[in-house]
Amino acid sequence: MALRTVEQYYESLKDLHPKTYILGQKVENPHEHPLIKHMLAGVAETYALAQEPEGREYLVTESKLIGEEVSRFVKFYESRDDLLAKVRMLKFLAQRIGTCFMRCTGMDAINSVGIETYNCDQKYGTNYYERFLNFVKYMQKNDFVVFSGVTDVKGDRSLRPSEQKDPDMYLHVVAKNDDGIVVRGAKIHQTGSICAHWGLIVPTREMREADKDYAVCFAIPVDAEGLIHIYGRGTLEARELQDCDLGNINYSKFAPMVIFKDVFVPWEQVFLCGEHEFAGPMVRNFGNYHRHSHGGCKCGVGDVLIGAAALSADYNGLPRVSHINNKLAEMLKTTEAIYGCSIAASVEAEPTASGIYMVDPVLSNVSKLYEGKELAEVIRMMIEIAGGMVADVPSDKDFENPEIGPLLVKYLKGVEGVSTEDRVRLFRLIEKLAFESRDIVSNIHGAGSPETHKMTILRNADIESKKKLAKRLAGIREN
């Protein structure tokens, strides 16, 4: 198959039965649930676009592993161009979907795990890398959606995994036998878990000797025995439950919590198990890659924010106002910096021992830092340009009411030539872009939090060599 159609994607989900709870209810067909189906639609769109000429350019590539065309979402980054192509693909998709499409965590995890399984084998003579290549080939041949399970619930943040009162606050191995391992724990913020076919589970932090049971990496089908997906509430759910006022009329994002209730994993799906020194690099690789991914997708969403803001100015009758133009330029400043630093992180990437290329960590973390810290201001400016109507537009259902509908059409009219309905649609989109908590919180906490990015930048920026530059210019002799 290698390239799945959108119909094949939907079809494939029918065979999957992830154990799912939504708002306190066990749900039999989660893929059809009103709070899930718009999330699925974003994933589906990535399949649809891969079949169209423009999307194909971005989404389809060749795999050396299987010698076939594959989705870029399941390919290794084998060159700087692959990394550039990734950023541009994600920008392209985000411009069309306007929110998360939930396939990047898997892509980034595949590359992170690829690097470290190789390194681990080199050090310990394990055969994780070969196993992992088999897994990747299988993903490629079936064009599967992979979610990546990184973030543990963490308990008391001041304590290491092995120091927690409850040992399950980080996912860990609780049993081993000849066939495989049994794991227990919980991963939160699992972008797209219910939309996926497989999960690739990665440690969430560096581990020490004492934490070695927590240094575990493996793949798992989303409906494996013992896996439980619990829906995490977003902000605009009344709209989906009532099927109106959606804002983004097709797509939305979600991030369930996934509990591992003593889940068995056969050895061929295990890619790290106790070699604790590779846990840290694995998650740091993931972080650097995933911040790099955000540089593409969040710039793409940024283009939607800017377009929505500019359009609202038109619809309000203020198309060429100086302060609005100033704000649009400021918005572009941030979104293009996010994108530009991600492009630059691709150009300055270097190959690892495995042959997989690692992005420049300073630049990819700088990109994410702009997202985490400055994108909130871009959104604020969009609201400022759009006006107060973002807060309190009446419902589609009010427009349908024969008594007040016509009054609303009359009074919510903006500039001539634009229907009230379209103006209201735009305000709803802006509301969705500004207030969907999963998107906004992802800007800040997705792929790690700003403080993590700062630490990563400092660790990689070679401050010592910069001190030498200053010394030389000041006439200070090195000792």
Q: Which of residues 288-347 bind its own copies (CB under 8 A)?
A: 303-304, 306-308, 310-311, 314, 316-318, 322-323, 325-326, 328-330, 332-333, 336-337, 339-341, 343-345, 347
How far, in Å, CA of 375 to CA of 338, rounded?
9
Q: Which of 146, 150, 195, 408 binds its own copies (CB under 8 A)?
A: 408
How far, in Å, CA of 244 to CA of 253, rounded?
17
Task: Give exposure, 449-474, as e/b (b: 16+ Cβ within 10 Å).
Answer: ebebbeebbeeeeeeeeeeeeeeeee
Choice between 140 and 335, CB closer to its own copies: 335
Choice between 134 and 326, CB closer to its own copies: 326
Choice between 180 and 295, CB closer to its own copies: 295
What part of residues 353-392 is at the interface with its own copies (CB under 8 A)? 362-363, 366-367, 369-370, 372-373, 376-377, 379-380, 383-384, 387-392
* Residue 457, both tokens: 């930048």
Tokens 């001539």 correspond to 416
What part of residues 99-138 is at the interface with its own copies (CB under 8 A)? none
Q: How far is CA 50 from CA 106, 109, 244, in A?
A: 18, 21, 29
- Residue 168 CB, nearest approach to its own copies (Å): 7
Beta bridge partners of 76: none
What part of residues 204-263 is at the interface with its own copies (CB under 8 A)? 228, 230-238, 241-242, 245, 247-251, 254-257, 259, 261
41 touches its own copies (CB under 8 A):
no
Choice between 117 and 452, CB closer to its own copies: 452
Beta bridge partners of 228: 259
Choice between 268 and 377, CB closer to its own copies: 377
23 touches its own copies (CB under 8 A):
yes
Q: How many of the chain's residues bind its own copies (CB under 8 A)? A: 156
Choice between 177 and 322, CB closer to its own copies: 322
Choice between 1 and 249, CB closer to its own copies: 249
Binning the chain into helix, strand and coil, the percentages to the nearest 5 are 55, 15, 30
Choice between 1 and 347, CB closer to its own copies: 347
How far, in Å, CA of 334 to CA of 338, rounded?
6
- Residue 479 CB, nearest approach to its own copies (Å): 8
How far, in Å, CA of 4 to CA of 26, rounded?
29
What part of residues 150-209 is at the interface with its own copies (CB under 8 A)? 151, 153, 155-159, 165-166, 168-169, 186, 188-189
- Residue 308 CB, nearest approach to its own copies (Å): 4
Choice between 267 and 435, CB closer to its own copies: 435
Amino acid at 311: L
- Residue 95 CB, nearest approach to its own copies (Å): 5
Q: Closest by alpha carbon to 246, among 377, 29, 49, 435?
A: 435
Choice between 79 and 437, CB closer to its own copies: 437
Q: Closest by alpha carbon to 296, among 441, 6, 101, 50?
A: 101
- Residue 84 CB, nearest approach to its own copies (Å): 7
Q: Pattern 411-430, binding to its own copies, x per CB under 8 A?
A: xxxxxx-----x--xx-xx-
How far, in Å, CA of 9 to CA of 40, rounded?
10
Q: Pattern 63-102, binding to its own copies, x per CB under 8 A?
A: ---------------------x----------xxxx----
**DSSP-assigned letters across all residues of 299-368:** HHHHHHHHHHHHHHHHHHT-TT-HHHHHHHHHHHHHHHHHHHHHHHHHHT-EE-TTS-EE--HHHHHHHH
Choice between 1 and 23, CB closer to its own copies: 23
- Residue 289 CB, nearest approach to its own copies (Å): 17
Q: Pattern 433-472, binding to its own copies, x per CB under 8 A?
A: -xx-xx-xxx-xxx--xxx--xx-xx--x-x-xxxxxxxx
Q: Closest by alpha carbon to 2, among 58, 84, 69, 82?
A: 69
Q: Which of 1, 7, 25, 32 binds its own copies (CB under 8 A)?
A: 25
Element (H, E) at 454: helix 450-460
How far, in Å, CA of 72 to CA of 76, rounded?
8
Q: DSSP strand E in 161-233: where?
A: 172-176, 180-187, 198-201, 216-221, 227-230
- Residue 449 CB, nearest approach to its own copies (Å): 6
52 touches its own copies (CB under 8 A):
no
Tokens 């979600």 correspond to 254
Q: Closest by alpha carbon to 222, among 242, 197, 245, 201?
A: 197
Options 36-44, 58-66, 200-208, 431-439: segment touching its own copies (CB under 8 A): 431-439
Choice between 209 and 422, CB closer to its own copies: 422
Amino acid at 471: K
How far, in Å, CA of 4 to CA of 468, rounded?
54
